[in-house]
């Protein structure tokens, strides 16, 4: 039997050891540079990677506006996105984390789902330089995510069936017999359900369920049904979505129930992004005034104070109830409640 000389075996082992050390140093450099890389370094690294993949629960049109703006600033990066609802997005990220797949570069979804991903070890820490001036309530204290915009969940109504003066003004008004069999609710609004449960308690939620609302997934689908007169009022609408339909002649409008349940949408890095430089560059851009203006143009409420936001001004006219990220601990309870009561 032929055998290799001991010297050759030693050299082969040394090569493997050197490769392992280099790989470890690269990984350490990546970890240590999560906060230290300059914009020039991010641009150089992103040029070398040449690609960015975003996982998001935002509307497709909104994501396309992001990528158009980002692509105009950084045309050397090929961009792709995968879009689904918040629950399915979170499940996909967790499955890919478990399988050690490196596909997503940026995760862009509600802070509740983002917080769950953080707790399950599916995210990596990154504190964007652009987030330095952002208020602390819009940033994870451990550095895993930064909020990029806010959304208020409001009450929509069909103006042919309901006058503004007759529309619900409080959550208790939703229990009025007039709205029995005449209400729509989006069952993916986990933030709205969670905060309403915290605010009003289980007995209130049971009474709301007894109103026999049309409950289904999809804000756009429900809004179209509201405009068509399938029901008179709809809980959990977005102001910009209603105004968009209204501008096209649909008989819809919105009103805020006090307090307006508000949540934010964050940007974060998965535990091992496939293109870390491009991912960090995108998050930095999204937090700049330029990126926030794109968010504003779509109708979202930017976090930055130096953006003239129409809907930001409207929301500030109401008492706001910001979603508590710790409600992520009650995710199973809330989903079970929705499944049992709001079928």
CATH number of the structural domain spanning residue 293: 3.40.190.10
Structure tokens that stand for 255 in this block:
């009103």
β partners of residue 270 = 123
Task: Note whether 208 and 174 are within 8 A (CB).
Answer: yes
223 in the same domain as 83: no
pLDDT digits (tens, 9 = 90+) for 290-320: 999 999 999 999 999 999 999 999 888 899 9
- Mean pLDDT in residue range 182-201: 92
Of 129, 113, 153, which Cα lies nearest the Cα of 265? 113
Residue 164 predicted with pLDDT over 80: yes
* pTM attached to this predicted model: 0.84
- Answer yes or no: is 27 within a domain: no
Of 160, 329, 324, which Cα lies nearest the Cα of 229? 160
185 in the same domain as 109: no
- Answer yes or no: is 108 within a domain: yes
- Answer yes or no: is 83 within a domain: yes
pLDDT digits (tens, 9 = 90+) for 269-294: 999 999 999 999 999 999 999 999 99
- Answer yes or no: is 22 within a domain: no
Q: How many CA atoms lie within 13 A of 143 on its CB side?
A: 12
Q: How many CA atoms lie within 13 A of 254 on its CB side?
A: 22
How far apart are the C-alpha atoms of 224 and 242, rounded to whole Å? 10
Q: Which domain holds residue 332?
A: 153-262+323-341
pLDDT at residue 331 in the model: 75
Task: Note whether 71 and 77 are within 8 A (CB).
Answer: yes
294 in the same domain as 330: no
pLDDT at residue 26 in the model: 38
Q: How many CB atoms lie within 10 A of CB 267?
A: 26
Task: Note whether 242 and 252 are within 8 A (CB).
Answer: yes
- Answer yes or no: is 172 within a domain: yes
Task: Return the minimum-mean-pLDDT range out of 18-32, 83-97, 168-182.
Answer: 18-32
Distance of CA 42 to the CA centre of its chain: 24
- Answer yes or no: is 94 within a domain: yes
- Mean pLDDT in residue range 156-174: 97
- Mean pLDDT in residue range 12-29: 41
β partners of residue 209 = none
**Measured at the alpha carbon of residue 331, what is the angle toward residues 330 and 337, in degrees to the nearest 5?**
90
- Give the contacts of 194 (CB within 8 A, at least 6 positions apart): 112, 323, 327, 330, 334
DSSP string, 167-215: S--STGGGGSGGGTT-EEEETT-HHHHHHHHHHH-HHHHHHHHTT--EE
228 in the same domain as 197: yes
Task: Note whether 192 and 337 are within 8 A (CB).
Answer: no
201 in the same domain as 146: no
β partners of residue 320 = 260
67 in the same domain as 50: yes
**Selected residue with higher pLDDT from 282 and 17:** 282
- Answer yes or no: is 116 within a domain: yes
How far apart are the C-alpha atoms of 147 and 96, rounded to whole Å? 23
Task: Note whether 245 and 299 are within 8 A (CB).
Answer: no
269 in the same domain as 146: yes
177 in the same domain as 44: no
- Answer yes or no: is 311 within a domain: yes
69 in the same domain as 138: yes
227 in the same domain as 276: no
Number of domains observed in the structure of the chain: 2
- Give the contacts of 221 (CB within 8 A, at least 6 positions apart): none
Task: Note whether 70 and 293 are within 8 A (CB).
Answer: no
Residue 87 predicted with pLDDT over 90: no
162 in the same domain as 79: no
Task: Note whether 55 and 274 are within 8 A (CB).
Answer: no
221 in the same domain as 126: no
Do the strands 183-186 and 233-237 form a parallel or antiparallel pair, or are they unpaired? parallel
């Amino acid at each position: 039997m032929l055998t290799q000389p001991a010297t050759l075996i030693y050299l082969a082992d040394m090569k493997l050891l050197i490769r392992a050390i280099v790989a470890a140093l690269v990984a350490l450099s990546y970890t240590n540079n999560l906060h230290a890389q300059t914009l020039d370094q991010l641009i150089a690294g992103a040029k070398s990677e040449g690609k960015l993949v975003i996982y998001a629960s935002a509307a497709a049109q909104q994501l396309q506006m992001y990528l158009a703006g980002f692509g105009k600033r950084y045309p050397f990066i090929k961009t792709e996105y995968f879009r689904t609802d918040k629950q399915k997005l979170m499940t996909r990220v967790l499955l890919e984390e478990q399988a050690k797949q490196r596909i997503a570069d940026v995760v862009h979804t509600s802070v509740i789902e983002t917080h769950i991903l953080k707790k399950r070890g599916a995210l990596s820490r990154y504190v964007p330089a652009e987030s330095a001036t952002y208020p602390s309530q819009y940033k994870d204290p451990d550095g895993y995510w930064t909020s990029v915009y806010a959304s208020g969940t409001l009450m929509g109504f069909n103006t042919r069936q309901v006058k503004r003066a007759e529309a619900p003004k409080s959550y208790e008004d939703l229990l009025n017999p007039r709205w029995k069999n005449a209400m729509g609710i989006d069952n993916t609004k986990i933030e709205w359900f969670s905060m309403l449960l915290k605010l009003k308690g289980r007995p209130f939620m049971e009474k709301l369920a007894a109103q026999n609302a049309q409950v289904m997934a999809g804000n756009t689908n429900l809004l179209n049904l509201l405009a068509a007169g399938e029901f008179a009022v709809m809980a959990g609408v977005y102001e910009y979505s209603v105004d968009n339909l209204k501008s096209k002649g649909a008989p819809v409008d919105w009103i805020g129930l006090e307090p307006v349940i508000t949540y934010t949408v964050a940007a974060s890095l998965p535990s091992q992004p496939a293109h870390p430089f491009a991912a960090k560059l995108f998050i930095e851009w999204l937090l700049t005034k330029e990126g926030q203006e794109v968010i504003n143009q779509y109708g979202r409420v930017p976090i930055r104070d130096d953006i003239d936001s129409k809907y930001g001004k409207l929301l500030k006219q109401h008492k706001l109830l910001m979603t508590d990220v710790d409600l992520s601990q009650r995710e199973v309870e809330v989903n079970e409640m929705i499944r049992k009561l709001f079928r």
